[in-house]
Structures are given as structure tokens and as C-alpha cells.
Amino acid sequence: MKVVFDPAQKRHYPRHFLVNGVVESNPEVPERADRLLAAARQAGLEHVTPKDHGLGPISAVHTPEYVAFLSTIHERWLRIEGGSDEVVPGIHPDRRDGAYPLSAVAQAGYHMADGACPIAAGSWEGIKRSADAAADAAGMVRDGASWVYALSRPPGHHAFADMAGGFCYVNNSGVAAQVLRGHHDRVAILDVDVHHGNGTQGMFYGRSDILTVSIHADPVRFYPFFWGHADERGAGVGLGYNYNLPLPRGTGDDAYMPALTAALRRIEAFAPGALVVALGLDAYKDDPQGGLSITTGGFGRIGETIGRIGLPTVLVQEGGYLCDGLGPNLTSFLEGFGTSHKL
């Protein structure tokens, strides 16, 4: 099996972000990719570099306004006299259905949901190559590979069709799902990150061809707060095609597994032709995000359980931050998944 990653993804490296009103060091650092790549190799995966897919896979799930913003905003931002080196929003609209702003400052507020998605000098290249990794992995699965791991960094599941947030810019899991839709009538996305995949939910909320399922820490007191509640089921033709399973803070391995079983039952009822797993590793008990309490062995159980449903699968990296368990958690998941996954 293969891990898809381009070292150019590490050129995205904003140094700071805003949390609780405080400017802190950004935890979404290039070293994450180094550790994850080493862990994937430890699990026996072969490293390949993605092809350049152009803007097609990104533009299939993101608006042209937003793609133009991401690809040009840093250069434009630097023209602001006295401005910062990195793009950070300082104002947000109270509605998003009016005239589109021309100001770089206003566009930043329009397209960036929070202070945790700063844009730096090398960001667009890293973001673009992260999406290429997801598109490449999905293409391999579409063309017959049983499963592939996309080491997409920066991550993507908080990115809406026209808005970044929470360290996410392009929705890599959404990119992968849309590529798979080119071959399969129905595709499911299972998000196991500790945070709800609000951007993924929003992207497909009105669609019935892509089922979105998320298991995460209860957002009533946890990021992203405003999305991820159990009563969010989809809208229009998408009603019934979104399934959220919020869990109490501190949920450990044994209490997590019934939620995973319920998630997989819903996916099997949807009868998709392929699966995308938004693979966050920040549900770990010692992850700096501190939401759930999954052990390294627990990630192996999660991987093994998902693998047993036997669908062609793209594993897309989401969260999971620097701690001693980051690499071992990925290795555990991949080994568990690979052992049980049979097509």
C-alpha cells in the first residue's frame, strides 16, 4: 500500500494563531508531516509523490471566489502598509449573502472563520500540494487500489466550500470524495477526528450522493461549537444523509466502539461504492487538544473495525498534534486497518 505526500506541503508554516484571545505558537507544524511519514513507512507503506492535478479537484468542491482568494491573498496582504506578515482576519461579516468585498482585509474576514487558519508566504503551495495528495490517493483507489493513505498536511475538514477555519483551507476529504464520485454513484465520508468535520458537513449538507458521518467530542463546549450536534441531519435532498455522533469529553476506547459500530451501520445502509476516512489522530488521550481519551491500541481497534467493512478506501490525514504518541498512533491504525481490510 502507498502513502502519498510531497515535502512541498511543509512550506505552509504560519508561526502563530489566535486562541482564547491570546497569540500562541501554531501547533500545526511541518514536523507533524515528518513524524506521520515515518510512521506510515513503519507500517510498511511505500512513499509516492503526488502528481500536479491543477485546480480541477479543488475547484470541484470550492467556489471560484474562494480559490482565487487562497491563491492570491498573501501577496495582496503584504501591500497593506503596517500590516502583519501573515494573513489573520480582524473583522467578520454579519451576513454572507450580500455584495462580495474587494478589500483584502474584508475578504480575509469573509473567507476565514477564525484566527486559527493564518496564511503565510508558502501557504498556498503547501495547501495546493496537500489537496494534490488527496486527489492522487483517490485516483489510485478509483482506478483499482484497495486503499491508499493521503498524508494531507495542512488538514482540511474544517474548510467549507468558501471558508477556511481551524488550521484547514482546502477540504482534502471532500476533494477525495468528489474524485471517487467520478466512478461511484455513492461515496461515504467517515470522520474520526476529535473535532467535528464542520466544513465537510457544510460542503455536502444538501446532497444525497455523499453521506457524511462524524464521531467527535461534543461541540456544546468544544470546537467548532456551532456544528456537529446530533440533530443536524442534512437539508433538502440531503436530509438523512448527515449523521453526527457527539461523545462526552474524555470518552475512551471501550465507550468509543459502540459509536463506531453505529457509524459503520449507517454507512453500510447507504451502500456506498467507496469510503473516505477523515483520519484525525487527535482523539488520543495525550494529544494537546485534550478532547477524548483513545489509546494507541485503541487506534488499532478503530482501524481494524473500519477495515472489516471492506470498501475501497482513501485515508486522508486530518488532525493529530505533536506528542510522543502521534507516530505510534498512526502506525497502530494503519496496521489494524491493513490487517482486516479485504476487498
In single-letter form, the type of residue at position 253 comes to D
Candidate list 12, 62, 158, 216, residue with the active-site label: 158
* C-alpha span between 149 and 138 (Å, rounded): 9
Residue 11 near residue 29 (C-beta atoms within 8 A): no
DSSP structural state of residue 320:
-
Strand partners, 241: none
Helix, strand and coil content of the chain, in percent to the nearest 5, comes to 40, 15, 45
Q: Quick one: which of 123, 298, 268 has its CA closest to 194?
A: 298
> Is 158 part of the annotated catalytic residue set?
yes
> Position of cell 482506478?
143
**Distances, alpha carbon 18 to alpha carbons 76, 166, 250, 261, 285, in Å:** 21, 10, 25, 36, 24
Strand partners, 279: 317
Catalytic residues: 158
